Chains A and B, each alone.
Chain A
Amino acid sequence: MTYSVDGKLLSQEDYEKHLKEVMPSAADDEFVINLEKEKGWILDPPQK
């Protein structure tokens, strides 16, 4: 049994398609890793 992230029952074929839409892709990983090299992608931490 396979489900969508909003709880709908999916066929195996639809599930595989769904995963590509709702899980981080290689492009997402690359986007974040590249963004990490830029200043301001994350706020400075709170002062201790």
Chain B
Amino acid sequence: MLVKKSRIDNFDDWVDVFHQWHDDIGYPTELIGKDYHFETKLGDIESNEIEFGHFAGQSKWERLTDIPDQRIRDALAHLIEYQGDTEFASVEQQKNLLERAPTQFDLENIIRINREEMRHGWQMSYVLVTHFGESGKRQAQRLLERRATENTRLLGSFNEPVLNWLDFFTYTSFIDRDGKYQLNMLSRSAFAPLGRSMLPMLKEEAYHLAQGNIGLMRIVKAGRIPTTIIQRYFNKWLSTAFDLFHWAYIWGLKGRYDEHLFEEPADMSKLNELSRSTFFKEVSSLVDALNRHIPKDQPSCGFPMTSSGEALAPMRG
């Protein structure tokens, strides 16, 4: 069922649609807490100059009209829409678990994670509505009209169902970790309002993936789920975790992970491999830590990788 409001003229209108979306997906808003207020948060960017790409050294763009090429404006809006789409999708994927939380601690955690993902979607919508004119308003509205449950979200990972708590912890450990990479790479964007938006989001996202990893460790240490089953959930999410864009680098929209730490120029032909390789190393150390707690009579866990072991391979190429 689509939300009822037919037109968004300003951000207040978008907020109305956001509340309708809660009703439409059946989210129990009473769990979010009366003290929590959805709000736009902006951090301080470290440099006012574009840090990489063709326009490096020029002033960062504060307004859409500062961006020198329509293709760059379109690509930027596209990136923001994709990011926002993932945020709302994750809530739709996970809300069915609220009634089956293992402990009060886990219930409070999933509520926190859900509301912060909603806030991230709010933030992306704010940028679209405030800076991208009529097309941005339409894009922000569509973020609340697609549904993970109807397979209409923009990326594969965000249409997969999250059916149980092993699923949830695997998702938050691996897919939210991918999300951290996306936010990090956007945090140095030439479009300053996007960079400012990323910093508070990154702080919140760090909590999500930490909870995912702790949850996986609690499951592995309990030893009640065979690792062959755990492995299949790893395959499910890791095989969809590599939608890492690279084409926006030259325009300064999206950098390498921890772009500010690089001294050498980017090798444009290997940007995607670089992102995957960094993600691979991080996930690898997490899986190694889990494996140390797997009973000796059970196989250890791994992750989808090429036969040469150099880089991760998607299930579909």
- Which B residue sits closest to A45, measured CB to CB? B105
Residues of chain A within 8 A (CB-CB) of B105 are 45, 48
Report yes or no: B232 in contact with A22, Cβ–Cβ below 8 A.
yes
Residues in B273-317 with C-beta less than 8 Å from chain A:
304-308, 313-317
Within 8 A of B (CB), among A1-48: 1-3, 5-8, 19, 22-25, 28-29, 31-33, 35-36, 38, 40-46, 48
Residues on the B chain within 8 Å of A48, using CB = 105
Closest-CB distance, A8 to chain B (whole angstroms): 6
Query: What are the residues of chain B within 8 A of A31 when measuring CB–CB?
Result: 225, 229
Chain B proximity of A24: nearest CB distance (Å): 4
Complex: chain B residue closest to A1, CB-CB: B317
In angstroms, Cα B102 to Cα A31, docked, is 15
Residue in A2, A3, A35 whose beta carbon sits within 8 Å of that of B225 in the complex: A35
Q: What 1/0 mask marks residues of chain B from 6 to 45 whose CB sits below 8 Å from any chain A CB?
A: 0000000000000000000000000000000000000000
Give CA–CA (A42, B33) in the complex, Å: 27
User: What are the interface flags for B202-233 relative to A under an 8 Å C-beta threshold, 1 for contact and 0 otherwise?
Assistant: 00000000000011001101101100010111
Contacts A6-B307, A22-B235 known; A32 to B315 CB distance under 8 Å? no
Query: Is the Cβ of B164 less than 8 Å from the Cβ of A29?
Result: yes
B residues less than 8 Å from A42 (CB atoms):
102, 165, 215, 218-219, 222, 224
**Cα separation A24 to B236 with both chains bound (whole Å):** 7
Which residue from chain B places its CB closest to the CB of A43 in the assembled complex? Answer: B218
Look across to chain A and name the residue whose beta carbon is closest to the beta carbon of B165. A36
B106 within 8 A of partner (CB): yes
Inter-chain pairs besides A24-B229, A28-B229, A45-B214, 13 sampled, C-beta below 8 Å: A3-B313, A5-B305, A7-B304, A7-B306, A8-B307, A19-B315, A24-B167, A31-B229, A32-B163, A33-B100, A41-B102, A41-B219, A41-B225
- Report A's interface with B, CB cutoff 8 A: 1-3, 5-8, 19, 22-25, 28-29, 31-33, 35-36, 38, 40-46, 48
Q: Can you list 22 residue pairs at the A/B interface with Cβ under 8 Å? A: A2-B315, A2-B317, A3-B317, A5-B313, A8-B307, A19-B315, A24-B167, A24-B232, A24-B236, A28-B229, A28-B233, A32-B225, A33-B164, A36-B102, A41-B224, A41-B225, A42-B215, A42-B224, A43-B219, A43-B221, A45-B214, A46-B214
